[in-house]
């Protein structure tokens, strides 16, 4: 099994977004929310409208979830990007049932798309826009971690957010490469 990587290049993230927005708003929203909330794919796909919307169906609330893998409680504040993508998806739907899955499959009564469907969507988009990294569903979460680290957030906070048990796991997870190390040497000058 090959390890998947984050999408490091912000231009490639934009390319994937444009590609998915042109194909399917649900897939686009899955990508945007995925790279902005850092949930594992099974937790992301299990989100229902009641997890993100207040009862008025117009206002977003913090996501409160017990992660499937760790059973740890997480509270996630939706940022502007995730909220906007969800709002656009809501506006495209004829009605909202709070018990419906956000990333609802077209097959069956009320089931989310499968992990395999999510993988196929991401692989197709990455291939179409020539993302060089090996992309999988976990790339959404890893992309969040990598860009949080590149933005200068404390690795301990990233570790806590990802519910990792130690910093070594987070370091491997971020996909730090030699060009990242070289950038550190170039930018840090102690006079």
Question: What are the pLDDT digits (tens) for 92-115?
Answer: 999 999 999 999 998 878 999 999
**What torsion, rounded to 10 degrees, do the Cα atoms 52, 150, 128, 78 define?**
10
* Model pLDDT for residues 115-146, shown as the tens digit of each residue: 999 999 999 999 999 999 999 999 999 999 99
Closest Cα to residue 42, out of 139, 133, 118? 118
Give yes or no for residue 1 having a pLDDT over 60: no
Closest Cα to residue 98, out of 26, 45, 50? 50
Q: Terminal CA-to-CA distance of the chain, rounded, Å?
A: 46
Contact assessment for residue 140 and residue 44, using Cβ atoms and an 8 Å cutoff? yes
Collapsing DSSP to helix, strand or coil, 95 comes out as: coil
* Model pLDDT for residues 19-59, shown as the tens digit of each residue: 999 999 999 999 999 999 999 999 999 999 999 999 988 89
| Catalytic residue annotation | 40, 69, 138, 141, 164, 173
- CATH code that applies to domain 10-187: 1.10.443.10
Give yes or no for residue 165 having a pLDDT over 90: no
* More confident of the two residues 75 and 183: 75
Give yes or no for residue 177 having a pLDDT over 90: no
How much is the pLDDT for 76? 95
Give yes or no for residue 2 having a pLDDT over 90: no
The pLDDT confidence band at residue 168, using thresholds 50, 70 and 90, is confident
Find all residues with CB under 8 Å of 129, minimum gap 6, and list them.
Answer: 12, 15, 16, 18, 19
The pLDDT confidence band at residue 65, using thresholds 50, 70 and 90, is very high
Mean pLDDT within 134-161: 94
Give yes or no for residue 183 having a pLDDT over 80: yes
Q: What residue spans define the domains of the chain?
A: 10-187
Measured in degrees and rounded to the nearest 5, phi and psi for residue 111 equal -125, 150
Residue count of the chain, please give it: 191
- DSSP run (H or E) holding 126: helix 115-128
* More confident of the two residues 9 and 1: 9
């Amino acid at each position: 099994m090959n390890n998947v990587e984050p999408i490091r290049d912000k231009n490639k993230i934009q390319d994937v977004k444009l590609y998915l927005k042109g194909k399917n708003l649900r897939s686009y929203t899955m990508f945007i929310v995925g790279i902005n909330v850092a949930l594992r794919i099974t937790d992301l796909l299990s989100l229902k409208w009641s997890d993100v919307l207040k009862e008025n169906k117009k206002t977003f609330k913090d996501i409160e979830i017990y992660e499937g893998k760790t059973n740890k409680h997480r509270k996630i504040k939706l940022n502007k990007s995730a909220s906007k993508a969800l709002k656009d998806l809501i506006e495209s739907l004829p009605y909202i049932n709070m018990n419906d899955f956000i990333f609802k499959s077209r097959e069956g009564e009320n089931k989310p798309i499968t992990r395999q469907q999510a993988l196929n969507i991401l692989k197709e988009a990455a291939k179409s826009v020539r993302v060089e990294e090996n992309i999988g569903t976990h790339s959404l979460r890893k992309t969040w971690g990598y860009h949080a680290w590149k933005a200068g957030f404390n690795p301990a906070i990233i570790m806590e957010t990802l519910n990792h048990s130690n910093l070594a796991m987070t370091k491997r997870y971020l996909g730090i490469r030699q060009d990242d190390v070289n950038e550190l040497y170039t930018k840090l000058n102690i006079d």
